[in-house]
């Protein structure tokens, strides 16, 4: 796995050039903006007018769990694979919330049950923005943590896997809110460390100027032991530089820890062969990758969907048994959100309730065994 530093540097530069394509973050051709014009929650309904989930069924009403976590148990990482308790490669597929602080109404038991039973998914990602909009602050954290906790409870009740996502984006480096992250992950891993359902994603998308070596790796080296102390067996997923695209940096300079996977994110209309080639090299090196977020449109969250590229991606991930989670399960008016504005938060979605991408991804999930 080791390569000379000069080759690594050249490869990283090439990757960065290929990824940016001359565009700057926020342009439709490039990356999600670290400071997007529509970041403020104003178009996402301020939290105090968002109803708290009311339509949850009581936990004991779920009489027929699909036998997901009870069948597959504690997941772990073996080589490049995520495997189940029997050591068989196991692929997680599912949806991610949008910012849970802005769209908590979509985190309710009947919606997630429909994602499980009708969309054929086995994991639900709870994305909690830490820096964008109002972010995670002393003033907001109690409320936001409650949403995360509610989401975990729903996944436990539904016998599904669940990813807790510390969704850095505008905050660029995970070091910025490291102390908050320590407190947050300590709290949740203490409460749920004995549950097999939960995977911990410790930093969504570090982005420039944050680097693997100076920001992400030292951050991970502090956060992982905090989680491990309470949840010794949990799989931990670590973000990578350049909006979780530079997966070959940790491939060449991995963390000294077990049961770790590294994040790759792609948006099919933006990220194509060069990033798939990078993934193939990771696979050849037995380096464990988890796609905790992808979209069929551009990285801006809008623009045309590229289903041809998306199918190339998902075909490859299926071939490798790499897990993937689609962004985003919400009704915001953007290509990347699966539900049309005004769709019911509690399920019963007809095709007319889904946008083009939503219809496609639901069919894609349904097509799996």
Cβ atoms of 207 and 245 within 8 Å: the answer is no
- What does DSSP assign to residue 32? P
332 binds ligand IDC per the rule CB under 6 A: yes
Closest CA to 66 of 172, 158, 130: 158
294 binds ligand IDC per the rule CB under 6 A: no
CB-nearer residue toward ligand IDC: 110 or 151: 151
Q: Cis link prior to 269 (omega < 30° from 0)? A: no
Cβ atoms of 164 and 148 within 8 Å: the answer is yes
Looking at residues 241 to 270 of the shown chain, list those that interact with ligand IDC (rule: CB under 6 A): 243, 265, 267
Window contacting ligand IDC (CB under 6 A); options: 32-40, 75-83, 113-121, 144-152: 32-40
- The site map against ligand IDC for 185-204 (x = CB under 6 A) is -------------------x
E strand or H helix that includes residue 96: strand 93-97
- What does DSSP assign to residue 354? B
Tell which one of 152, 336, 338, 354 touches ligand IDC (CB under 6 A).
336
Tell which one of 264, 328, 338, 343 touches ligand IDC (CB under 6 A).
328
Closest CA to 196 of 225, 155, 166, 168: 155
Among candidate residues 134, 196, 293, 334, the one labeled active-site is: 293
Closest CA to 340 of 358, 356, 355, 357: 355
E strand or H helix that includes residue 152: helix 141-157
Annotation marks residue 334 as catalytic: no
Pairing of strands 93-97, 123-129: parallel
Window contacting ligand IDC (CB under 6 A); options: 147-155, 231-239, 329-337, 345-353: 329-337
300 binds ligand IDC per the rule CB under 6 A: yes
Least distance in angstroms from the C-beta of 301 to ligand IDC:
3
288 binds ligand IDC per the rule CB under 6 A: no
165 CB-contact burial (10 Å; exposed 0-12 / middle 13-18 / buried 19+): buried
Interaxial angle between packed helices 356-366 and 307-320, expressed in degrees from 0 to 180 and rounded to the nearest 10: 30
- CA–CA distance, 160 with 98 (Å, rounded to integer): 18
Q: What is the largest CA-CA distance in the chain?
A: 59
CB-nearer residue toward ligand IDC: 328 or 343: 328
Least distance in angstroms from the C-beta of 240 to ligand IDC:
12
Among candidate residues 56, 109, 201, 205, the one labeled active-site is: 205
Task: Please count the other Cβ atoms lying within 10 Å of the Cβ belonging to residue 259.
Answer: 19
Annotation marks residue 205 as catalytic: yes
331 binds ligand IDC per the rule CB under 6 A: no
- Among positive and negative, which fits the CA dihedral 150, 154, 156, 157? positive
166 binds ligand IDC per the rule CB under 6 A: no
CB-nearer residue toward ligand IDC: 69 or 336: 336
The partner residues of 269 in beta bridges, in order of sequence, read none
- CA–CA distance, 22 with 30 (Å, rounded to integer): 8
- What does DSSP assign to residue 320? H
Least distance in angstroms from the C-beta of 247 to ligand IDC:
15
36 binds ligand IDC per the rule CB under 6 A: yes
Helix (H), strand (E) counts: the chain: 11, 10
Least distance in angstroms from the C-beta of 294 to ligand IDC:
9
Least distance in angstroms from the C-beta of 199 to ligand IDC:
17
CB-nearer residue toward ligand IDC: 116 or 265: 265
299 binds ligand IDC per the rule CB under 6 A: yes
- The site map against ligand IDC for 114-133 (x = CB under 6 A) is ------------------x-
Catalytic residues: 205, 293
Q: List residues binding ligand IDC (CB under 6 A).
A: 32, 36, 38-39, 132, 169, 204-205, 243, 265, 267, 293, 299-301, 327-328, 332, 334, 336
């Amino acid at each position: 796995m080791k390569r000379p530093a000069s080759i690594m540097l050249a490869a990283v530069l090439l990757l960065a050039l290929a990824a940016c394509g001359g565009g700057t973050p926020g342009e439709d051709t490039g990356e999600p903006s670290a400071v997007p014009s529509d970041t403020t929650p104003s178009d996402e309904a301020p939290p105090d007018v968002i109803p708290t989930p009311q339509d949850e069924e009581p936990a004991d009403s779920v009489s027929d769990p699909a036998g997901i976590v009870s069948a597959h148990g504690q997941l772990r990482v073996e080589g490049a694979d995520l495997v189940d308790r029997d050591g068989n490669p196991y692929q997680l597929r599912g949806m991610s919330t949008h910012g849970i602080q802005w769209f908590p109404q979509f985190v309710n038991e009947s919606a997630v049950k429909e994602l499980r039973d009708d969309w054929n998914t086995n994991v639900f990602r709870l994305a909690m923005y830490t820096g964008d909009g109002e972010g995670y602050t002393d003033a907001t954290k109690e409320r936001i943590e409650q949403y995360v906790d509610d989401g975990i409870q729903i996944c436990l009740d539904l016998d599904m896997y669940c990813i807790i996502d510390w969704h850095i984006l505008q905050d660029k480096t995970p070091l910025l809110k490291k102390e908050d992250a320590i407190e947050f992950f300590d709290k949740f891993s203490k409460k749920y460390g004995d549950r097999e359902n939960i995977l911990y994603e410790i930093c969504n998308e570090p982005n420039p100027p944050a680097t693997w070596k100076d920001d992400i790796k030292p951050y991970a080296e502090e956060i992982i032991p905090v989680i491990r102390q309470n949840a010794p067996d949990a799989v931990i997923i670590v973000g990578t530089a350049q909006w979780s695209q530079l997966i070959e940096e940790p491939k060449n300079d991995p963390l000294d820890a077990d049961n770790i996977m590294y994040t790759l994110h792609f948006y099919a209309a933006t990220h194509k062969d060069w990033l798939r080639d990078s993934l193939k090299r990771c696979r050849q090196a037995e380096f464990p990758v988890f796609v905790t977020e992808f979209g069929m449109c551009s990285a801006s969250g809008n623009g045309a969907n590229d289903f041809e590229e998306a199918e190339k991606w998902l075909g490859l991930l299926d071939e490798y048994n790499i897990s993937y989670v689609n962004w985003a399960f919400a009704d915001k008016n953007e290509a990347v959100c699966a539900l049309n504005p005004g769709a019911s938060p509690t399920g019963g979605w007809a095709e007319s309730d889904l946008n083009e991408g939503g219809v496609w991804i639901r069919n894609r999930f349904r097509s799996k065994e």
